[in-house]
Amino acid sequence: MKTAISARQFHGRLTNLPWPRNIVFLDELLPKLKGQILFWWIAGIVTPNFLLARWLGLPRQGGHKEAVLLFTSGSSGEPKGVVLSHHNLIGNVTQFTVMLDAGPEDSLLASLPFFHSFGCTVTLWYPLIEGTPIVTYPSPLEAAKNAALVEKYKITVLLATPTFLRAYLRKAESEQLRSARLVIVGAEKMPLDLSEKFFERFGKRVMEGYGLTETAPVVSVNLPDPIPERPGVTVQPLYRLGSVGKMASGIAAEIRHPETNEKISIYDSGMLWLRGPNIFEGYLKDPKRTAEVLHNGWLKTGDIGRLDEDGFLYIEGRLSRFSKIGGEMVPHEVVEQKIIGALGLEGSERRIAICGVPDEAKGEALLLLTADPIEMDKLRALLTESGVPNLWIPKRSIVVENIPVLASGKLDIRGCQELAAGRQD
């Protein structure tokens, strides 16, 4: 790396980072460019795009050439470098533009990090390309300051993850989010209890979406149901609780058997495969792993999902978060939610996690990682009473100091597996 773009204050915090010689400090540069910014802002309004591109000497090549390099979260292993092309970004921005249908009164809070695909595409490239106003803040973790910005600038679209919404519940006042017409979350599964608490506090229904770094990232999102033009007129629903919404235009989906890859009914649970203009070009210098997930333009998402008769997509979990017990696929996330509900563990911090461990009798068994001591006999009784199948009830638990999570709030699956493996001897 030859050049870094940063801010003087941020640079001072990372004293151990091997900074390159050439550092551009935006906080020092921007005040000197006010005249140029004004000039090009006016030029951008009155000048055709092709002339602007010629004046600025912008390259005409784009297409499938690399535009952005992002890395996966690494929740289930080593992070992978995801190569997104100009074609991918323009395609996904176009898809999101159609879905959001923003008006002149709309604005976005842009506090998600750009190294996260959601923040990169939706809060950087989308507003740059479409001209939607944004208000920026460097950290989504500071909920009080973010909420104050929403209130001050009357922001209408709030983008977050479930982890960041928990922070709003702790630190934001109910009236501060009054201007928001849309609250969209992604990156991790939205717990039902969190959605309900957010609605009770702020009066805003949370719209859950779905995407992957490999899909640039937006695949689907719930949206408010349209209002009929007149009584008696039927409208297509755009929101369904428990789903991740309808897929963006231009995306095709197939459901295949997780083991044989044979195509099955889209209404049955199986491996979700996707195809569209937003599907990435491949993993950086890793043709082997690229070949494992890309086949004839189709992306193997690694997620178990299904669709309903109205086209709503349901994600039941990562394949890596299922255990095959006695021939049955048991979803870890569903079991976790059942345990949370049975024990009343709803809160801002993750206190439990389910792992699959080897079992001589049935091939695999569920192990409960817990940050608090739990009476397993009591838990089994509660789960049985609530109708949880016996096969889904963990037989053992181990107490750990903390449940491993990533900076984004996602469960660190690899960290959990290492904890479980370390306690099996």
- What are the domain boundaries of the chain? 1-60, 63-224+238-246+253-325, 329-422
What distance, in Å, lies between the first and last C-alpha atoms of the chain?
45
Cβ burial of 387 (10 Å; 0-12, 13-18, 19+) is exposed
Residue 265: per-residue pLDDT: 96
What is the average pLDDT across 187-194? 84
What is the average pLDDT across 273-280? 96
In whole angstroms, what is the distance from residue 399 CA to residue 395 CA? 14
Question: Which has more confidence, 348 or 111?
Answer: 111
Tens of pLDDT, residue by residue over 197-235, are 999 999 999 999 999 999 999 999 999 998 887 887 888
**Angle at Cα 186 formed by Cα 403 and Cα 367, nearest 5°?**
30
Helix 192-202 with 332-343: angle, nearest 10 deg: 60
CA separation (Å) from 213 to 31, 95, 121, 244, 385? 34, 15, 10, 16, 40
What is the average pLDDT across 292-309? 94
Confidence of residue 248 (pLDDT cuts 50, 70, 90): very high
- Which of these, 180, 236, 229, 175, lies nearest to 207 by C-alpha position? 180
Residue 76: per-residue pLDDT: 59
CA 159 distance to own-chain centroid: 10
What is the average pLDDT across 263-290? 95
What is the average pLDDT across 298-318? 93
Residue 58: per-residue pLDDT: 80
Confidence of residue 360 (pLDDT cuts 50, 70, 90): confident
- Phi then psi for residue 175, to 5 deg, are -75, -10
Helix (H) / strand (E) containing 162: helix 162-171
Residue 252: per-residue pLDDT: 97
Residue 348: per-residue pLDDT: 60
Confidence of residue 295 (pLDDT cuts 50, 70, 90): very high
Q: DSSP assignment of 316-351, as one string?
A: EEEGGGEEEETTEEEEHHHHHHHHHHHHT--SSS--
Residue 347: per-residue pLDDT: 61
What is the average pLDDT across 135-149? 92
Confidence of residue 425 (pLDDT cuts 50, 70, 90): very low
What is the average pLDDT across 147-155? 96
Residue 423: per-residue pLDDT: 64
Cis preceding linkage at 127, omega within 30: no
Pairing outcome for strands 313-318 and 298-307: antiparallel
- State yes or no: pLDDT of 148 exceeds 90: yes
Residue 288: per-residue pLDDT: 93
Give residue for tokens 């469960």.
411
Q: Which residues, 6 or more positions from 376, have their beta carbon under 8 angstroms from its beta carbon?
A: 368, 394, 395, 396, 397
Question: Do 101 and 113 contact (CB within 8 A), yes or no?
Answer: no
In whole angstroms, what is the distance from residue 181 CA to residue 158 CA? 8
Confidence of residue 406 (pLDDT cuts 50, 70, 90): confident
Burial 186-196 (b: 16+ CB within 10 A, else e): bbbbbbeebbe
In whole angstroms, what is the distance from residue 412 CA to residue 311 CA? 31
Tell me how crowded residue 256 is: count the other CB atoms within 10 A of its CB. Answer: 16
Tens of pLDDT, residue by residue over 16-75, are 888 888 988 888 888 888 888 888 888 888 888 888 888 888 877 788 999 999 988 765
Tens of pLDDT, residue by residue over 4-16, are 888 888 788 887 8
Domain 63-224+238-246+253-325 grouped into CATH 3.40.50.12780: yes
Question: Which has more confidence, 91 or 409?
Answer: 91
- State yes or no: pLDDT of 372 exceeds 70: yes
Residue 415: per-residue pLDDT: 87
Burial 129-167 (b: 16+ CB within 10 A, else e): eeebebbeeeebebbeebbebbbeeebbbbbbbbbbbbb
Q: Which residues, 6 or more positions from 264, have their beta carbon under 8 angstroms from its beta carbon?
A: 255, 256, 257, 270
Residue 74: per-residue pLDDT: 65
Instruction: Give the tokens for residue 339.
Output: 């345990």
The superfamily (CATH) of domain 329-422 is ANL, C-terminal domain (3.30.300.30)
Question: Do 416 and 403 contact (CB within 8 A), yes or no?
Answer: yes
